[in-house]
Amino acid sequence: MKILAIESSCDETAAAVVEDGTNILSNVINTQIELHKLYGGVVPEIASRKHIENISAVVDKALDDCNLTFEDIDAVAVTYGPGLVGALLVGVSYAKGLSYSLDKPLIPVHHIKGHICANYLENPDFKPPFICLVASGGHSHIIYVKSYFEYDVIAKTNDDAAGEAFDKVSRVLGFGYPGGPQIQKAAESGNKYAINFPRVNMGSNGFDFSFSGVKTSVLNYIHNAEQKGIEINKNDIAASFQQAVVDVLSDHLIKAAEQYCVDRIALAGGVASNIPLRETISDKAAEKKFEFCYPRSILCTDNAAMIGCAGFYEYQNGNIADLSLNAYANLDI
């Protein structure tokens, strides 16, 4: 089964063709990062307009890259939430038009489910049940993946997502957007033990996240140093901040797996590209004898291949939409 998948939830216009859930035939991503850098973050109106400009060419390239035509496609999958609603509407509207004109099934895909399914693309032998940490600019969730169709949210953030905290701290340090790669690069030259930024546990089970505290702690540290005329070491701040976030994310994931008696864990989302996070979880997983899976970087960022994979399993579960499908900024998994 060949699925044409479309992703437009934020600032990447993406299309892919995925066969039978795990075989990527093409994967095209048109990113707007350079444009949004000028504003220090994603501007929703600009993102939506750029999706409109780019989506037809991106879809055409996805088909051209695997020498297929629209007639060769068996179904159309599309992200319908959560995300920037204007951006989502571009992808949803385009997918609905394709589905109608081609008389092909329309498969609605939850963005977070897509990120989780990127692990199946990385390793088709990695199967549920497992506990997955989804960390990105808009999400920080721990999810119990019971099967290809069943997802239970164990924990989520009470304020800033991990990626959002990276972006805000990077902006304050003058590193720019996007913050994750900038913080990681600066941290390589810093001392991660130089500053003891707070690690916060939230929720009745202790698994929920809160990153506003560590972000505020960084801001206060910089402000206090400036007030006293003390020169700050930006690399040390970046390394110490990054370590605080990595400690919390990795600890919560491991503890959740232990509590739910699951010996397989996974990582997903844009923050999953962070090398110290991968290495820390890998070390802790080895200690516990857990199987650990994470996608390659190109599958961590927003992409349509993951939507095609998730769409395959949604189709198997009978999740087919009609032309009334809408886009949703907020959407429970």
The reply, when asked if residue 286 is annotated as ligand binding, is no
Spatial neighbors of 145 by CB under 8 A, at least 6 apart, are 116, 128, 129, 130, 131, 132, 151, 266
The reply, when asked if residue 111 is annotated as ligand binding, is yes
The reply, when asked if residue 302 is annotated as ligand binding, is yes
DSSP H or E run through 2: strand 2-7
Amino acid in the structure at residue 304? A
The reply, when asked if residue 115 is annotated as ligand binding, is yes
Q: In what order do the strands lie in the sheet with 151-156?
A: 151-156, 140-145, 130-135, 264-268, 291-293
Cα–Cα distance for residue pair 300/12, rounded to 1 Å: 12
Cα–Cα distance for residue pair 138/108, rounded to 1 Å: 20
Closest of 2, 44, 6, 39 to residue 22, by C-alpha: 2
Closest of 121, 21, 101 to residue 59, by C-alpha: 101
The reply, when asked if residue 251 is annotated as ligand binding, is no
The reply, when asked if residue 136 is annotated as ligand binding, is yes
Spatial neighbors of 280 by CB under 8 A, at least 6 apart, are 246, 247, 250
CA dihedral 6, 305, 29, 66 (to 10 degrees): -90
Other Cβ atoms less than 10 A from the Cβ of 89: the count is 18
The reply, when asked if residue 134 is annotated as ligand binding, is yes
The reply, when asked if residue 167 is annotated as ligand binding, is yes
Cα–Cα distance for residue pair 15/210, rounded to 1 Å: 33
Q: What is the DSSP string of 36-79?
A: HHTTTS--HHHHHHHHHHHHHHHHHHHHHHTT--GGG--EEEEE
Residues annotated within a binding site:
111, 115, 134-138, 167, 180, 274, 302
Residues annotated within a binding site for Fe cation:
111, 115, 302
Residues annotated within a binding site for substrate:
134-138, 167, 180, 274
